[in-house]
Each structure stands twice: as C-alpha cells, then as structure tokens.
Structure 1
Amino acid sequence: MEPTISFFSGFGRQDILFMAEAAWRTLLISTISIAIGTILGTIFGWLLYEGRIWATLFLAPVLDAFRSVPLIIQLVLFYNFVPIIGLSLDAFQSGLVILTIYTASLVANVARGGIESVGKPMRRAARSLGMSYWQDLRYVVLPIGTRAVFPSWVGVALGVLKDSALVSVLGYVELLRASQILMTRTQEPLLIISIAGAFYFALSYPISRYSAKLEKRWSQ
C-alpha cells in the first residue's frame, strides 16, 4: 500500500519570518504612499482653498472620484489599464501609484480644513506686521493648521496602512496576501489571522501612541 501524500504542512518558524517580511512590505508601500501623498495632498488642499478656477473645475472632481470609488476598483482598473498605454509597472509600483493618489485625495480635504481653521483676522495681523504671503503660510498657517488637523491626518495614515492590504489583489505579497498563502498551505486560518492581526497592531500602535504624545505636547 502506497503512503498517503500530504500537500499541507504545519505552521513553523519560517512562516513567521515570511509574515514578518510581508509586514515589512506593507510598511514600505504604506510609508512611501503616505509621505508622498501627504505632500501632494497639502498642495492640492492649498489650491482648493485658493479657489482657482482650474482647481475647482478639474482638480476637485478628480479628487472626489478617488475618494468615492472603492480603492480595490481603482487598483484593478489602473493595473490593467497601464499596459494598454505602453507602461510596464509591477504590482508594487501600480499599488504605490494608486495608494499615493488615494492618500493625496484624502489629505487634500484635511489640508484645506487646516488652512481654513486659521482665522482671517490672524492672517491679516501677520500681513500687517510685514509678512509676505508665503511667510504667512510658513510661520502662521502651517504651525496652527497642522495642530488643528493632525488627529485627522493620523486617521488617514492609519486608514491607508490598513487599506494597503487591498494591493494583494494585484499579486503584491504584503501581509494579507502572505496570510492567504499560508492559510492555504497550513489549513490553520485562526492562528494565521491572529498573527496577522498582531503584526497590523504592531505597525499601527506606535503611530497612535506617538501622535497622542505629540498632541499632548502641543497642548501644553
């Protein structure tokens, strides 16, 4: 009688390392997209606040579209559209582009709210002291507006960190995709999902704690 061949194996040390590497991939794509998206979103928010005609007619609808359409649809459409126009982007690059634009669309509203939180009397006072428009933005609007909207920005950053799991639909092996692979092989979904949740917590908790300490320091 021939021995039974098993296609499944137990969860081992190498699987933990595999998930740790996937967690690093999650952190990598999230950090880059949040950093670049925050810079772009701040610029977009400023343009929307200024009320330029082209920003109102073109930029605002585009940002609304990225905020409104589910992220997974954006990822799939972009990944399949890129080869049509002759570009060659892998899953990481495609996911990074969409996550960055998605982040920028969310941050744009946050940034505009931060600028609007600085009262016009304060800005007029700054101009009366001889500050230029750009000095007013740098020394008055940026410090005050940042403190006002920092909690909202942290919420956006944490949301993007978790939403990066959707890049798995493109084949990018981040934490969720790695968990799916291991669940198929080991048939231990509860254990693997618990470990994945612990990794997500380990990535998110330091951001929450540091932001809370920073807000407390600013309030003193």
Structure 2
Amino acid sequence: MGKLYLVPTPIGNLKDMTFRAVEVLNDVDLILAEDTRTSGKLLKHYDISTPMQSHHMHNEHKTVDGIVSRLKAGETIALISDAGTPAISDPGFLLTRACVEQGIEVDCLPGATAFVPALVNSGLPNDRFLFEGFLPVKKGRQTRLNSLAAESRTMVFYESPHKLPKTLAQFQEVFGADRAASVSRELTKLHEETIRGTLAELADHFSAHPPKGEIVLVVAGKK
C-alpha cells in the first residue's frame, strides 16, 4: 500500500517552502499538480525532477479512481496546489476522502496557507474564528451571508480583487458599516499589505485604490 502526501506550497515567497516539503516532493513517485505550468516553476527552483500529473477541480472526479489504484499498488504520491495547502479552497478533499475510505495512509504536511497570517495580522480576536473561504458567486450567496449575521466569532473569507468592492458593500448591509474588519493582500509578496478599519472605511479605501492580488478579508464577529 502506498501513501498520499498533501504538501503545502508557498503562497508567494518561495522561501516559505519547508525542507521536509522539498524532500517529500523529491522522494515520491508522482506529483499531482493543480497547474503543471505553475508548479513546474516551483519544482525547477528547487531542482525537483519528479514526474507531474494534472489534478484540478475540473478533472478530479475523473482521476481519483486511477490515483487510488496507483496508491493501492504501492506508489507514493504527493498532491500540491498552485499555492497554499491542498484542500483549503483548492482540490484535495475528494482524493483524501477516497484514500481514507480505502485505508490508504494520508499525511498532510504543515506549511503555508493564506488565512492564518491574515487572521493574525488583522488584530481581531482569533481564539475562535470561522473560516468561510470563497462565498457562493450567485446562488445561495445572500442566504449564506444572512446566516452569518449573528455570528459572534471572527470570520475569514477569500475574495478576488475585482469582486472586493461589491463584497464590502454587501457586508455593510449584513454586518453594519461600523463592523471592524481587515483586508490582507499579496501576503508574503513584495507588495504585501493589510488595511484595517470599519467595513465603510475599507469600502472607501478600495474604491479609491482598486486592489490587486489575492485577497483575504477578515471580519469581526457580532458583539
């Protein structure tokens, strides 16, 4: 019986790759990559020559059975995403569940993920928090937001830069314009920044300064 490794990759700064992650990617028989072109740059940087295979949200339903068969035959396989920890708003859950059901060992390495530094940088309470990831784009979005209106824990969301202004406007309607929040973008990269304030202040700021890069939005819970 083989083994599946879930290997976090840097969310921006290549120096955030761990020694163990490099070792695992060198030693496994196959690397499953969300985008082989993106991951190819990372592997080249660390001189890793392990074969890669595409595994992403559009084909994972079709590839899981074949991967499980290879693992049961004794191969060791690593799953990586373009950035961060697999299965956190990225492919990984379906394969992990299939491996668990088949008694195949799964080992998730610790490493980079965007929401943890954003949560800590926010200055908002982080002893208890709710990770929502990406909200539904259309259907069910308002229902999900309404269900969070009375949430007392700090809430963490992922958002794309071009949708941030609309999301901040929706958040003001649901949580109130005076609710404390923070927006972190380009985490670990050269132009990393975290802007803190009320939802109204953040909306004004990003209306005047259109954001770029990956966004993590942290919102205080209801008092």
TM-score of the two chains, using structure 1 as the length reference: 0.25
More strand per residue: 2
Structure having the higher Rg: 1
TM-score of the two chains, using structure 2 as the length reference: 0.25
Q: Relative CO higher for 1 or 2, CA cutoff 8 Å, sep ≥ 6?
A: 1
